[in-house]
Structure 1
Amino acid sequence: MSGEFAMYTAPVLIAGEWRQAAESGRFQPTNPSTKETIARLYPVSNWHDCEAVLAAAAGAAATLRAIPAETRARFLDTFADAIETSADELSLLAHEETGLPLNPRLRDVELPRTTGQLRAAANAARDGSWAQATIDTALNIRSMRGPIGPVVIFGPNNFPLAFNGLAGGDFAAAIAAGNPVIAKAHTSHPGTCHKLASLARQALEQVGLPSATVQMLYAISREDGYKLMGDKRLGAGAFTGSRTAGIALKQVADSVGTPFYAELSSINPVVMLPGALRERGPELAEEFAGSCLMGSGQFCTNPGLVIVPAGDDGERFIARCGELFDGSQPGTLLSAGTQMGLQKAITELREAGAALVTSTTGADDTRTCVPNTLLCVSGTGFLQAPEAFQTEAFGNAALVVVSENTEQTAAILQQLEGNLTGCIYSSTTDVDEEAYNALAPILREKVGRLLNDKMPTGVAVSPAMNHGGPFPASGHPGFTAVGIPASLTRFGKLDCYDNVRSHRLPPLLQDHNPLNAWRSVDGNWTQGPVQ
């Protein structure tokens, strides 16, 4: 690194201004496809920067409460337009920093998903139905969800656009609900975050929202992260990442009563019933292997555990999956840290007693990758150490559990922690109905999204989607990180107005509000606009 380059670090975005950070260190990202350091330097901010973003966000929150929802909606639409205008540059940046395929993954799939979420959130802000306005005319009591206050967002490494703290689902929901965002960029893709922050800043200026509505720090120390999450000026926190880091932040948030919405860990169990394997075993092996290895397995909904029946059909399924894993080139992992984490998880599963089905060859030393890995354990073995066998192997690895019968499968499911998803494959006839009826109620209690005959990898942006689940899949089973308008409710507090004069009420609670609200006149409740 030249002396001239060493003097420059990328600025942070605080209160609408690009500033040189108050540094406690610096870092450089690495291109995981080549293991080469990217020639850009970024700061690790100290508490001085954290204090500055908190103060600015608190001021912005007070101003935002008085700004019409239409202005927030125009910001989200304008930002989406700007992202599309810079689509090629953004996609190339994300590709360089994460190793994710440029096409179709980033440019043709993830980027349109990102702008679609922003526009859906804009529509939700305009519609106002997310706020659940409720008007009791007889008692003159009214309530609705209002902004909760500044939201700090810790984005993940595996979706540099669609879950980015500066443009993803949490960001869109927080802004649409009327809150300023403090984004902690991910150190795996800081350049992508910088570009998104620049576009957001321009959009804020264009529509006239407070300059501190969107702020960004690239990195902070663990201690400052805890201190930030524990600051009482925050309204809420949102986190997607490792279980260890998420739980530590949640404990801090809980200690001061700050809502904290976290996506933490999920192995997304898949149950193959006997009739399904007997009927279409080879096709299901193709489907399972394809889902496991898609994107190098770096999806929070990647199926990391599959339960198959003992016997010839189960053995053929395992053998075919092993062939498919061995016959596919290992994908590039997001970072050296991801590689180390996956290797550690595989080692822990093997030490617990899982047998290796696949070979240990195929890795490429010139990039961050691990051989495609399929492991296997008996149902009895799983039940002897259920916690160890639920170790999340984030990446291109999966564990097969061979179950002796429906009763043992039920016992295995009973031992599962909370997960984002769970799936049961069954015969197209009724031969698996008895087993399904015995197992589905157990699995239903363990997951946020229950699937039939479909791998869980895709997460559709639909109002009906739940991307959450019982702990430790998420920090709260009643909320979703995907699905608008439901995802907005995380960032709204319930505001009640009792006998408040009409002209002092928020527009959504006034009698002649044209938008949808629950209204009671003489005790008869109806939903809809005033007729």
Structure 2
Amino acid sequence: MSLQPVFIGGQWRTSRYLSTFQANNPRTGEKLPDLFPVSTWEELAEALDYAQQVIPLLTALPPEARAEFLENMASKIEAKQEIITATAALETGLPQSPRFLEIELPRTTDQLRQTAAAVREGSWCLATIDTHRNIRSKYGPLGGVVIVIGPNNFPLAFNAVSGGDFAAALAAGNPVLAKAHPLHPKTSQLLAQAMAEALAESQLPPATVQFIYHFQPEDGSKAIAHPATAAVAFTGSRATGLAIKEAAEKAGKLAYLEMSSINPVFLLPGALQERASKIAEEFTASCLLGSGQFCTNPGLVVLSEGAGSKDFIQRAIDLFNNSSPGYLLSREIGLNLEKKIQALLQRGSQLLCGGHSLPEPGYRFAPTLLQVKAQAFHEQPTAFQQEMFGPASLLVVCPKAEDMLMIAASLEGNLTASLYAHTQGKDESLYQQLEPILRLKVGRLLNDKMPTGVAVSPAMMHGGPFPATGHPGFSSVGVPATILRFAARHGYDNVPQHRLPPELMDKNPTGRLWRFIDGAWTQASVNEK
């Protein structure tokens, strides 16, 4: 077993570590051979100091330098795609093909290239010019380091050293300190190697991006409070997210957090009468995708009582029972899921299928459905809104339309909500009552579609009200909006032309940049309007 190096100050080096850890193979439960370091506070502080030193150098470079780096990094990842995807499969138990090779790795490189294109084009900075008062503003770097902490379930597309948070923070002109997730450290290392190769070939300062594997929670809090740190980005559990939020607020730092979501699905009576079996098939595919380990997993289904609901429930039970259980990312996920299920049962839920871990080897859990009466949900709404991370969902059967409306009104903030309605308009009246309630509860509202997929589109909203995220106004997917999380608005009042950044000069620097000049969006230069 060999201790793996960290990437600090532009070079791979031996870590000054507190302890070491190993990843596991979820298919066998066995430890994988490499040792990875848990960094000391001194090592973290050194990385932050290095990053602070590059801020003026990075700010002075043209946007093209960042765009070229991101594009080159995407190409480096593609050149290593076989070993990256094979390692991701080994560390997560998820299939190399199609999950990683055909889906997640192309998504990762596409996201990097979309971000590069946005940096090069420049309109993301929202350049705004008032010629009458000679006041101008645009978005630019925060002036500090962004610490990016990636999740357990997307080792490529949301990785701290290759995912959307990483790309967006860098795009805005900030140095990044990336922390791997301990469930897939080797995959993260391979992505960091692609990053380091692209960085060495770029104009960017060597400490623009740095990479470590793990640190103690108390050292993470100290890193957030460090003078060099401007913001932290986190995707993961609610408990950890809230701890990060508290540390950031105490230190006066920005925190962009994606935490937990149950993504309610409302099945209206006409839709169930029309196509209960088809909806059950869509629901099963969504809920069991990736063994249910998605932040957009449909964890709560609210349906109207009747013949259609009975057909839906029976079909879903049959599909769940006949599915082939996939692997969980860790043993702890299965243990936590079992605890959540037991808590729901103690509060009056009924177990329809599953509810238990499956025999070794590996970490697997029986696909699980629970059901609870609408009245019980009304009485304890918070208790029934706990995320079950894994292949599980809770069904709530509503005798009356008023029950659906009450459940919708009691929901916490979520990433998504889905509404299934009759195709010929029989549910329109109920839809129009539910939609205004749900619209304010979620980031993304779906019609006749399960929530699992999150397209890398400029129009995508992957965020939502607390506690799904820390701020409802931003998205972690969808360039260029993602970049604005890690940007500050820079204003210039009565500043002469030769002292302005190119984006705010009278002449459009590229001829393609969209700017808001005297109340209108335009690509024209000021003197051409």
TM-score, normalised via structure 2 length: 0.97
- Is contact 1:348-1:391 (8 Å) kept? no
Question: Deviation digits for residues 217-253 of structure 1, max 9, x if unmatched?
Answer: 1110011011111223111110000000001001111
Partner SS state of residue 7, structure 2? strand
Partner SS state of residue 159, structure 1? coil
Output aligned runs, 1:472-491, within 5 Å.
472-491=467-486
Query: Which position in structure 2 is the counterpart of 1:81?
Result: 75
Q: Quote how far apart the aligned CAs of 1:362 are.
A: 7.9
Query: Which position in structure 2 is the counterpart of 1:42?
Result: 36
- Is contact 2:233-2:256 (8 Å) kept? yes
Q: Name whichever of 269-278 and 248-257 sits farther off.
A: 248-257
Q: Quote how far apart the aligned CAs of 1:371 are.
A: 0.8
d(CA) in 2 for partners of 1:503 and 1:75? Answer: 28
d(CA) in 1 for partners of 2:17 and 2:463? Answer: 36
- Is contact 2:338-2:355 (8 Å) kept? no
d(CA) in 2 for partners of 1:99 and 1:439? Answer: 39
Query: Which position in structure 2 is the counterpart of 1:239?
Result: 234
Q: Name whichever of 347-356 and 386-395 sits farther off.
A: 347-356
Query: Which position in structure 1 is the counterpart of 2:425?
Result: 430
Which among 510, 515, 518 is matched to residue 518 of structure 1?
515
Query: Which position in structure 1 is the counterpart of 2:109?
Result: 115
Q: Which runs of 5+ in 1 are unaligned?
A: none
- Is contact 1:183-1:217 (8 Å) kept? yes
- Is contact 1:424-1:451 (8 Å) kept? yes
d(CA) in 2 for partners of 1:218 and 1:348? Answer: 34
Q: Quote how far apart the aligned CAs of 1:115 are.
A: 0.2
Which among 8, 26, 38 is matched to residue 32 of structure 1?
26
Q: Name whichever of 345-354 and 428-437 sits farther off.
A: 345-354
CA RMSD of aligned residues (A): 1.2
The answer on 1:203 being equivalent to 2:198 is yes
| Equivalent residue letter for 2:362 | R
Q: Quote how far apart the aligned CAs of 1:196 are.
A: 1.0
Q: Name whichever of 432-441 and 505-514 sits farther off.
A: 505-514
Query: Which position in structure 1 is the counterpart of 2:305?
Result: 310
- Is contact 1:508-1:515 (8 Å) kept? no
Which among 440, 446, 449 is matched to residue 454 of structure 1?
449
Which among 355, 362, 365 is matched to residue 367 of structure 1?
362
Question: Deviation digits for residues 145-177 of structure 1, max 9, x if unmatched?
Answer: 011131100100100000000000111111111
Q: Name whichever of 63-72 and 354-363 sits farther off.
A: 354-363
- Is contact 1:325-1:358 (8 Å) kept? yes
The answer on 1:299 being equivalent to 2:304 is no
d(CA) in 2 for partners of 1:370 and 1:343? Answer: 9
d(CA) in 2 for partners of 1:519 and 1:473? Answer: 32
Which among 247, 256, 273 is matched to residue 261 of structure 1?
256
The answer on 1:54 being equivalent to 2:48 is yes
Query: Which position in structure 1 is the counterpart of 2:86?
Result: 92
d(CA) in 2 for partners of 1:114 and 1:79? Answer: 11
- Is contact 2:177-2:210 (8 Å) kept? yes
d(CA) in 2 for partners of 1:524 and 1:110? Answer: 41
- Is contact 2:123-2:515 (8 Å) kept? no
Q: Percent identity?
A: 50
d(CA) in 1 for partners of 2:178 and 2:184? Answer: 13
| Equivalent residue letter for 2:141 | P
TM-score, normalised via structure 1 length: 0.97
Which among 507, 524, 529 is matched to residue 529 of structure 1?
524
Q: Quote how far apart the aligned CAs of 1:359 are.
A: 4.1
Q: Name whichever of 307-316 and 219-228 sits farther off.
A: 307-316
Residues 495 and 524 of structure 1: CA distance in aligned 2, closer, same or farther (over 3 Å): closer
d(CA) in 2 for partners of 1:366 and 1:529? Answer: 64
- Is contact 1:419-1:470 (8 Å) kept? yes
Which among 56, 60, 64 is matched to residue 70 of structure 1?
64
Query: Which position in structure 2 is the counterpart of 1:188?
Result: 183
Question: Deviation digits for residues 92-151 of structure 1, max 9, x if unmatched?
Answer: 111111111110010100000000000000001011111001112222211000111311
Residues 359 and 339 of structure 1: CA distance in aligned 2, closer, same or farther (over 3 Å): closer
| Equivalent residue letter for 1:37 | K
Residues 76 and 344 of structure 1: CA distance in aligned 2, closer, same or farther (over 3 Å): same
d(CA) in 1 for partners of 2:126 and 2:49? Answer: 30
| Equivalent residue letter for 1:40 | D
Q: Name whichever of 344-353 and 43-52 sits farther off.
A: 344-353
After superposing on structure 2, the runs of 4+ consecutive aligned residues of structure 1 that deviate more than 3 Å are 359-362, 517-520, 523-526
| Equivalent residue letter for 1:315 | K
d(CA) in 2 for partners of 1:206 and 1:94? Answer: 26
Question: Deviation digits for residues 401-442 of structure 1, max 9, x if unmatched?
Answer: 011111110001111100000011000112101110111111
Q: Quote how far apart the aligned CAs of 1:504 are.
A: 1.9
Query: Which position in structure 1 is the counterpart of 2:396?
Result: 401
Q: Quote how far apart the aligned CAs of 1:264 are.
A: 0.4
Query: Which position in structure 1 is the counterpart of 2:281?
Result: 286
d(CA) in 2 for partners of 1:147 and 1:259? Answer: 13
Q: Name whichever of 507-516 and 159-168 sits farther off.
A: 507-516
Query: Which position in structure 2 is the counterpart of 1:178?
Result: 173
Q: Which runs of 5+ in 2 are unaligned?
A: none
Query: Which position in structure 2 is the counterpart of 1:22?
Result: 16
Residues 360 and 497 of structure 1: CA distance in aligned 2, closer, same or farther (over 3 Å): closer
Residues 277 and 524 of structure 1: CA distance in aligned 2, closer, same or farther (over 3 Å): closer
- Is contact 2:302-2:404 (8 Å) kept? yes
The answer on 1:222 being equivalent to 2:217 is yes
d(CA) in 2 for partners of 1:434 and 1:451? Answer: 17
Question: Deviation digits for residues 42-76 of structure 1, max 9, x if unmatched?
Answer: 01111011101110111122211000000100000
Q: Quote how far apart the aligned CAs of 1:346 are.
A: 1.4
Q: Quote how far apart the aligned CAs of 1:205 are.
A: 1.1
Q: Quote how far apart the aligned CAs of 1:524 are.
A: 5.8
Q: Quote how far apart the aligned CAs of 1:210 are.
A: 0.7
| Equivalent residue letter for 1:140 | N
Q: Name whichever of 356-365 and 77-86 sits farther off.
A: 356-365
d(CA) in 2 for partners of 1:361 and 1:39? Answer: 30
